[in-house]
A and B are shown apart, each in its own frame.
Chain A
Amino acid sequence: MPNLKDLKLLAKDFSILYIEDDTKLRKSLCKFLLEYTNKVYTAKDGKEGLDVFKKKHPQIVITDIKIPFINGMKLAKYIRILSPNTKVIILSELDDQDYIKNSINLGIFKFLKKPIDTSKLLNTIYKAILQIKHQDYNILFYTHLQNIFNYQSSMIIMYQGSLPIIANKPFLKFFNIKSVKELVDKHYDLGSRFLAHNGFLYNTENIYWFDEVEQCEHRLFHVKLLNEQEDVKHFILKCTKIPNNAEYIILSFDDVTDLNLLKVYDPKRFKDDINLKDTHTIFNIFEVIKRNHTKVELHNYYKGLSITNNGLLSKIQNNNITLTTNYIQQKAIQYEKKTLITSNVFPHPIICNTVVNISFEKQSIELTDIYFKKSSPVTRRTVRLVPEENHGVSLFVKKTKVKGNMRIEDISLDAIKLELNSIPEGLVEDEQVLIEIILNINNTTVVINTEAVMLRKSENQANFSIVFILKLAVGKKNTLVDYITNRQMSIIREFKGLQNG
Chain B
Amino acid sequence: MDDKEKILYDDGNHKCVMFSFDDESHEDSFLSVNQYLIVQNGNGILIDPGSAIIFNELYEAVIKYVKPENIKYVFLSHQDPDVSASITQWSIITSAKFIMSGLWVRFMSHYGFTDMSRIISPPDKGDKLKFGDNYLQFVPSHFLHSPGNFSLYDTYSKILFSGDIGAAVLNKPYTYKHVENFEEHKKHLYAFHKRYMGSNKLCRAWVGTVHKLDVAVIAPQHGFIFEGENVGLFLDWFNELKCGSDLIDELY
Contacts and interface: CB of A to CB of B under 8 A. Distances in A.
B35 to A, nearest CB: 17
B91 A310 contact: no
A320 interface: no
A478 interface: yes
A246 B125 contact: yes
B95 interface: yes
B92 A481 contact: yes
A485 B88 contact: yes
Q: How large is the interface on A (under 10, 10 to 19, 20 to 34, 35 or more residues)?
A: 20 to 34
The residue in A306, A342, A496 that gathers the most chain B C-beta atoms within 10 A of its C-beta is A306
Identify whether the interface residues of B are mostly helix, strand, loop, or mixed: helix
B53 to A, nearest CB: 12
Given A211-B130, A381-B95, A492-B109, A481 B114 contact: no
Interface in B76-115: 88-89, 91-93, 95, 109, 112-115
A244 B113 CA distance: 32
B13 interface: no
Nearest to B128: A215
A122 interface: no
Interface string A298-309: 010000011111
A1 B59 CA distance: 65
A82 interface: no
A215 B92 contact: no
B92 A307 contact: no
Contacts of A244: 125
A191 B112 CA distance: 42
A234 B250 CA distance: 64
Contacts of B117: 297, 299, 306, 308, 342
A488 B89 CA distance: 10
Interface residues of B, number: 24
Contact of A306 (B52, B93, B115, B129): B115
Given A309-B116, A485-B88, A489-B88, A413 B93 contact: yes
Given A211-B130, A215-B130, A478-B56, A485 B115 contact: no
A215 B127 contact: yes
A356 to B, nearest CB: 24
A383 B59 contact: no
Contacts of A119: none
A304 to B, nearest CB: 11
A190 B55 CA distance: 46
A227 interface: no
Nearest to A297: B117
A308 B156 CA distance: 34
B95 A382 contact: yes
A323 B168 CA distance: 48
A441 B43 CA distance: 33
B55 A383 contact: no
A416 interface: no
B127 A485 contact: no
Contacts of A157: none
A246 to B, nearest CB: 7
A400 B20 CA distance: 47
A439 interface: no
B115 A413 contact: no
A383 B90 CA distance: 11
Nearest to B113: A488
Interface string B49-62: 00010011001100
15 contacts: A215-B128, A215-B130, A246-B127, A306-B117, A308-B114, A308-B115, A328-B114, A381-B95, A383-B91, A484-B92, A485-B89, A485-B92, A488-B113, A492-B109, A492-B112
Interface of B: 52, 55-56, 59-60, 88-89, 91-93, 95, 109, 112-118, 125, 127-130
Interface of A: 211, 215, 244, 246, 297, 299, 305-310, 328, 342, 381-383, 413, 474, 478, 481, 484-485, 488-489, 492, 496
In order of increasing CB-CB distance, the 3 nearest A-B pairs are A306-B115, A308-B117, A489-B112
Given A306-B117, A478-B59, A485-B92, 16 more contacts: A211-B130, A215-B129, A215-B130, A297-B117, A299-B117, A307-B115, A308-B117, A309-B116, A328-B114, A485-B52, A485-B89, A488-B112, A489-B88, A489-B112, A492-B109, A492-B114
